[in-house]
Structure 1
Amino acid sequence: MTDAEIIEGLRQEISMVKAAYNELLNDERRKMLMLDDVPLGEIVLDPDSRMIGVNKGFEEFLGYSREEFLSMRFHDLLAEGVDIHESIFPVFKRTGIVKNITWKMKKKNGDVITVLLYGRAVYDADGNFAQARGIILNITDRVNADEALKKSEQEKALILDVMSDCIIYYDTDMRVIWANRVASKLSGIPVENIAGKYCYEICHKEKGFCRGCPVGHPMMSKEPQSGEVRAAGMVFHILTHPVLSEKGDFVGLVQVIRDITEQKMLERQILEMLSNERKKIGNDLHDGLGQVLTGISFLATALQQELKHKLPSESSSASDIVEYTKKALNMMRSVINGLCPVSEDEQGLMSALENMASGVEKIYGIKCGYVCRKPVIIADYEVCNHLYFIAHEAMTNAVKHSGCSQINIFITKNFDQLRLEISDNGVGMADCRKSLNGQGLRIMKYRASIIGADIDIINNISGGTSVIATMKVPHGEESDEQ
């Protein structure tokens, strides 16, 4: 090959190198123009971490001009972490890549922004570090939003943790998503382990929902529900609120549980005090006023007999005294019966219910049957008293609202299960659940809750309504099967 051919070959190679270099410059310009139009910053650093190139996006991030940047080193822009940069930059020059490093940077006006850096090293033909190129994303808004959300979550957790009520958030499968510390204390499950548990694992530690639990209804009706549940010798008031999506779909449930055991004990004590006061008033009337009226009746009767022989014209006045005294005694007995309808003997409840049935038939002309196939003995007088008044309220509702011609009272006890039912053949109720919101029925529910009984209202298949009270009674008392 001649010298001329060699020179021509070199000229062609030089031309190709220049063309490739120009193409690289054009690519760099196109890339810089493209990055200038997107919210990303690009920086180029020399081996001493001096700024040797920035795009418009990075200028807008921090508010400096390109000329001002080119007089700075990277750590001059940091609001914190200068020592970290000094320690990792030499490592970066060897490894050649950094990903997702977060920096706090100072803007020209003194504000601080948070950025995310992704960088790569560029090496020369000999493998020596030449420069660093980095893409920077301003994540200040996202970080601020995350911090605000985290603060809100912490405040929410603090508020809910200091509440005395147990608060739990469930998913659609009734597994715990979140619970406060009271829920942890109630269940005995550590806070960090409570997520994923079913509600019945927290409350009564059994498999499946407990009878009468107000959790199931809101899942179907998408309406709040409340009720009382007894478990492990304790009484809880449970309020459940369904959580709905924007489309109205059920997505979860918030449950508020309050321990009302002590409250129920105090309420029962107050009712017992009132009952004892009623009995005292009744006894005072019987032993005091009753004896006086009885004495007057005997004296008036004796006077009537004496005047009948001596002054016949005056005996009628004595007869009137006898008659009015008897009426006063009857009125007093009615008052005593109203104060203490259930006697304290073991047959007290059965006698009181039977008297109620006969009284309804006499007063209202409605047939009223009383069915008690075997003796029902309950030692607790207050339980008997509350059961009587539950039956009385159910009877009153039937007489006033059902339009019935027949009412029946049934009472049975099988081992530790007692059942009291008041059934009529009236018009029935359109919605038995909503009917529980009436004043009289709320009173029945309240009395039932005091003694640990459940109240159900059902429409009879043959027509009419049944109010049913069921409860457990101590094993030591007699049962129908003995």
Structure 2
Amino acid sequence: MSILASSYHEGPLLDKYNNLLISHERYRAMFDNIPLAYMSMNENAAIIDFNNAFSELTGYSCEEVYMKPFSFFLYDKKDIEYHVNVTFPRFKRNGFARNQPWKLKHKSGREIYVIVHGNVRYDTDGRFIQTHCLIVDVTEQRLAREECQRAESKAQLILDVISERVTFHDREHHVLWANKNARSNAAPECMPTQQPCVNELDSCDKCPVNRVFKNHQAAFGEVQNQGRLLQVSAYPVLEENGELSGVVQVARDITEQRDLEHELLRLSTSERRRIGSDLHDGVGQELTGLSFLASAMANQLQSRSDPLSELAGKIVETVGRARQRMYNVLQGLSHVPEGPDGLTRALALLQQSVQELYGVACTFHQPQSVLISDEVISAHLFNIASEAVSNAMKYSQCSQLRIALEQKGHWLLLEVQDNGCGIADVSQRRGAMGLKIMQYRATMMGGELKIATGAQGTCISCEVPLTTASQNGENHEP
């Protein structure tokens, strides 16, 4: 009876044992063949269990791995000391480890970069049994990141040696990257991820970077930065799907260049005025005297009915033409009269000449007195007005023309408006030489040229900032 009972109980128990064995073998087969490396350590940090992926990761056979301390696989001596004295004692104490980076040594000697995640298994009394650790191979990612960093370092070195200030703005307009010149010239709070732009203009609409963010097209302009004048070029950086990922800004310091251009123009204007004055006071007076003498001689010869009176009359006419040509040259040498009100007088003369030469109704509007001591600004504004008038007479077929000069605080506004047919394609006309010259003159003054056109005509305006010195000749800032 007891033998039968024993046989009865041994049958089901054996089946359960066999099923458990089969289940364990299946688990072990799956465990050994998963691509994620696994290893388990005892309380002395010796490896007591591992799968095939760990063996393949390190290049050692199963016999070589078993009971080896984990420190055997570490690459650096400092890492070994840190593992023995810090990370493993803390691991056993806390019961878990997350995102722990290590550099392992492959059997061939090459470096392996891994991230370790682990948990500790304790018995019911809280005593340490073993660890269970998963190891993620991040060598490829690490090498790719290092290669990317090397490429960025090379780009940084290249961009750091150029004289322009180069910055990259992300979608939120923050400066994410800047070369050496941009960093050295920026306020400390502006780098690397704070301010969206470097200008000190009254309106952000004038900032080329902001214009690129709005229309996703390259933009150019000039901005002020800490008393320096920068020529800014801003370019969109587009992703494959066409979305804007950021803006690259290249800024070149043109302060000295612009000051030199301003001084050369001032010297040129002064020299032209001096030559005009010399011609007027020298050659002009001589021609005037010669005209009087020729007229007196012609009158005397004519009173005596002398045959030479006809020749004397031709001499008088020739001297008169010479005087007129000289005065035309003088007018070309110095468009703007001397004095703070020189621009006002020059524009008034321009208005009169339009009516006399073209027969077009032309008005000059100036609501209040405008006094400008800077002869360079006066010369630029007059030439812009003269070019705008010339374009209107050539192309607009207008019957009315209005020239206006107005000062609003520290800004000066010049407008030339006609009632003609307008400009069909402003973008193409901006490439015309006359408009390019006007744009250049406005830029030289730190101003802005605008063209508004339509069926009712065209208005060309130039807005220029005026310092106190340019208004009254004093040498101080506004």
Amino acid at match of 2:134: I
**Structure 2 residue aligned with 1:67:** 63
**Structure 2 residue aligned with 1:225:** 219
Cα 1:95/1:230, change in 2 over 3 Å = closer
Is contact 1:433–1:457 with CA below 8 Å preserved after alignment?
no
Amino acid at match of 2:261: E
1:465 aligns with 2:464: no
Is contact 1:368–1:406 with CA below 8 Å preserved after alignment?
yes
**Structure 2 residue aligned with 1:451:** 445
Q: Deviations over 1:4-51 (max 9, x none)?
A: 59x9689959974x7666555544432332244432222344555555
Deviation at 1:89, TM superposition (A): 4.2
Query: What pairs up with 1:400-415 in 2 under 5 angstroms?
Result: 400-413=394-407
Is contact 1:304–1:319 with CA below 8 Å preserved after alignment?
yes
Over the aligned positions, Cα root-mean-square deviation in angstroms equals 3.7
Query: What pairs up with 1:264-275 in 2 under 5 angstroms?
Result: 264-275=258-269
Unpaired runs of 5+ residues, structure 1, are none
1:319 aligns with 2:313: yes
Query: 281, 298, 307: which is aligned to 1:304?
Result: 298
**Structure 1 residue aligned with 2:324:** 330
Cα 1:22/1:86, change in 2 over 3 Å = farther
User: How far apart are the structure 2 equivalents of 1:401 and 1:24?
Assistant: 99
1:344 aligns with 2:344: no
User: How far apart are the structure 2 equivalents of 1:406 and 1:400?
Assistant: 13
User: How far apart are the structure 1 equivalents of 2:417 and 2:113?
Assistant: 73
Deviation at 1:159, TM superposition (A): 5.0
Query: 380, 390, 398: which is aligned to 1:396?
Result: 390
**Structure 1 residue aligned with 2:475:** none
SS in 2 for 1:313: coil
Unpaired runs of 5+ residues, structure 2, are 473-478
User: How far apart are the structure 2 equivalents of 1:395 and 1:310?
Assistant: 52
**Structure 1 residue aligned with 2:246:** 252
SS in 1 for 2:318: helix
1:243 aligns with 2:237: yes
Amino acid at match of 1:342: V
Deviation at 1:269, TM superposition (A): 0.6
Deviation at 1:456, TM superposition (A): 1.7
User: How far apart are the structure 1 equivalents of 2:163 and 2:419?
Assistant: 46
Q: Deviations over 1:67-97 (max 9, x none)?
A: 3434854333322223333334466456554
Q: Deviations over 1:404-425 (max 9, x none)?
A: 2332222233554432211112
User: How far apart are the structure 2 equivalents of 1:115 and 1:317?
Assistant: 110
Amino acid at match of 1:190: E
Deviation at 1:224, TM superposition (A): 0.8
Aligned length in residues: 468
User: How far apart are the structure 2 equivalents of 1:171 and 1:89?
Assistant: 42
Is contact 1:35–1:57 with CA below 8 Å preserved after alignment?
no
Amino acid at match of 1:276: S
Amino acid at match of 1:111: R
Is contact 2:33–2:53 with CA below 8 Å preserved after alignment?
yes
Deviation at 1:398, TM superposition (A): 1.3
Cα 1:317/1:36, change in 2 over 3 Å = farther
Cα 1:429/1:270, change in 2 over 3 Å = same
User: How far apart are the structure 1 equivalents of 2:34 and 2:193?
Assistant: 43
> Identity across aligned pairs (percent)?
35
Deviation at 1:441, TM superposition (A): 1.6
Is contact 2:33–2:51 with CA below 8 Å preserved after alignment?
no
Is contact 1:187–1:203 with CA below 8 Å preserved after alignment?
no
Is contact 2:74–2:104 with CA below 8 Å preserved after alignment?
yes
**Structure 2 residue aligned with 1:40:** 36
**Structure 1 residue aligned with 2:350:** 356
Cα 1:439/1:42, change in 2 over 3 Å = same
SS in 1 for 2:249: strand
Query: What pairs up with 1:4-23 in 2 under 5 angstroms?
Result: 12=9, 16=13
Deviation at 1:329, TM superposition (A): 1.4
Amino acid at match of 1:141: E
User: How far apart are the structure 2 equivalents of 1:361 and 1:76?
Assistant: 99
Q: Deviations over 1:418-456 (max 9, x none)?
A: 322111122212454664443222211221232333322
* TM-score (normalised: structure 2): 0.83
Is contact 1:179–1:191 with CA below 8 Å preserved after alignment?
no
**Structure 2 residue aligned with 1:29:** 25
Cα 1:15/1:97, change in 2 over 3 Å = farther
* TM-score (normalised: structure 1): 0.82
**Structure 2 residue aligned with 1:262:** 256
Name whichever of 384-393 and 64-73 sits farther off: 64-73
Q: Deviations over 1:236-285 (max 9, x none)?
A: 33322233333323443333344433332221111111112212222232
